[in-house]
Structure 1
Amino acid sequence: MSAAAPVVGVLALQGDVREHLLALAECDVVARPVRRPEDLAEIDGLVLPGGESTTISRLLHVFDLLEPLRARLAEGMPAYGSCAGMILLADRALDARPDQHQLGGLDVVVRRNAFGRQVDSFEADLDVAGVPDGPVHAVFIRAPWVESAADDVEVLARVPESPDAGDAAGRIVAVRQGHVLATAFHPELTGDGRVHRLFVNIVREALG
């Protein structure tokens, strides 16, 4: 695959698949859905979309994608997870169902639905390390946060400290470890492609 035009897949089992494909299409890559194990051999990086982490976990098993995807991640394939994708990429998830599968790739502990129910969804402007040209307008929908991260995990963004933030103030909501990126928020919903371009740059770095 050409480093000039990386092929970036979007896990297309459930969630914001179309929105991620559209965002990636603006980043000078070939964007395609991933539904089968053989699709994994054709991509240089993978986006795991927002959605429902328990459902996506179950479908990974149903479609025989769980172990092949774990293997590609272990080999160093770049991955980006937003919201549910962050949960799946974490080594450990709190408040998840006992039968939920973790893909790994991020040496972090995340708390599922940390910000509350759907009615507690909110938006905030965040300074995200590695994303130029000002704050990112972040949309949080039944979002996780990172409870703890290993020393070699780079914290890219936290919820701003403010009286309105409550228990969420200072919580970690974007991280990177090597070629794996994750956000608790949904950049695919705002029309701001800067987080996707950050991930595409990570894919290009991995391709050398």
Structure 2
Amino acid sequence: MSAAETTPVIGVFALQGDVREHLAALRAAGAEPREVRRPGELAECAALVIPGGESTTMSKLAHAFGLMEPLRERARAGMPVYGTCAGMIMLADKILDPRSGQETVGGIDMIVRRNAFGRQNESFEAALDFAGIDGGPVEGVFIRAPWVESTGAGVEVLASWDGHPVAVRQGRLLATAFHPELTGDHRVHALFTAMVRAAGDSGR
């Protein structure tokens, strides 16, 4: 079976955040999604999605459930990871305004600012030109979203809004400040699923 024909097993960090929506989007994109709460469950997956939620809480729960170090090790070893909103913060090498004790998985050479687009009542949607995705703009749902303050030379900016990068990729790591899983448009998840297939490990 060729890499393009496999059904990759993609986990969703399920300790906090909008897990159900990502599970549905991954399934629609041709992956086999699984909830991940413990290191053993992560080991069974070829890739991982870190959903939106609250990044400080995610950091604390990842440590409490023994997931932080395995996540870091797998990401460093080349496991594809996609982070949305809080997940983008979790993949950043540096947070501009971290809360006390907040840590990240890291891996993307970028500095992010938490809640950069405003509070919950300032949430908005925007049509984004997204490099590498055909079929017209991607609808981005921004909810207490971060933005990228700066990126290193190895980071590819895929989409921007109001002058700030809101979708980036570095190697096998993908991050968006917005929530494509809330729109019914599964093209970003399909892009990530294709990245997982290209990595050559279906998790089977």
TM-score bin, normalised by smaller chain = over 0.9
Residue in 2 that maps onto 1:135: 137
Q: Taking every aligned residue pair, what percent have the same amino acid on both sides? A: 64
Say whether the 8 Å CA contact 2:29–2:187 is kept in structure 1. no
Residue in 2 that maps onto 1:163: none
Residue in 2 that maps onto 1:165: none
Residue in 1 that maps onto 2:31: 29
Query: Looking at both structures, which has the greater relative contact order when contacts are Cα pairs under 8 Å and sequence separation is at least 6?
Result: 2
AA of the residue aligned to 1:31: P
Residue in 2 that maps onto 1:59: 61
Residue in 2 that maps onto 1:80: 82
Name the CA distance, whole Å, in 2 between partners of 1:178 and 1:42.
Answer: 21
Could you tell me which runs of 5 or more consecutive residues in structure 2 were left unpaired when the two chains were aligned: none
Residue in 1 that maps onto 2:173: 180
Which segments of structure 1 move beyond 2 Å, counting only runs of 4 or more? none
Residue in 1 that maps onto 2:151: 149
Name the CA distance, whole Å, in 2 between partners of 1:28 and 1:125.
Answer: 24
Give the secondary-structure state (helix, strand or coil) at the position aligned to 2:40: helix
AA of the residue aligned to 2:173: V
Please show how residues 55-134 of structure 1 align to structure 2 within 5 Å.
Answer: 55-134=57-136
Name the CA distance, whole Å, in 1 between partners of 2:86 and 2:64.
Answer: 18
Name the CA distance, whole Å, in 2 between partners of 1:29 and 1:202.
Answer: 11
Q: CA deviation at 1:98?
A: 2.6
Name the CA distance, whole Å, in 1 between partners of 2:102 and 2:174.
Answer: 21
1:193 maps to which of 186, 194, 203: 186
Name the CA distance, whole Å, in 1 between partners of 2:139 and 2:47.
Answer: 24
Give the secondary-structure state (helix, strand or coil) at the position aligned to 1:175: strand
Aligned residue-pair number? 198
AA of the residue aligned to 2:9: V
AA of the residue aligned to 1:60: A
Q: CA deviation at 1:96?
A: 1.8
TM-score, normalising length: structure 2:
0.95
The answer to whether residue 193 in structure 2 is matched with residue 205 in structure 1 is: no
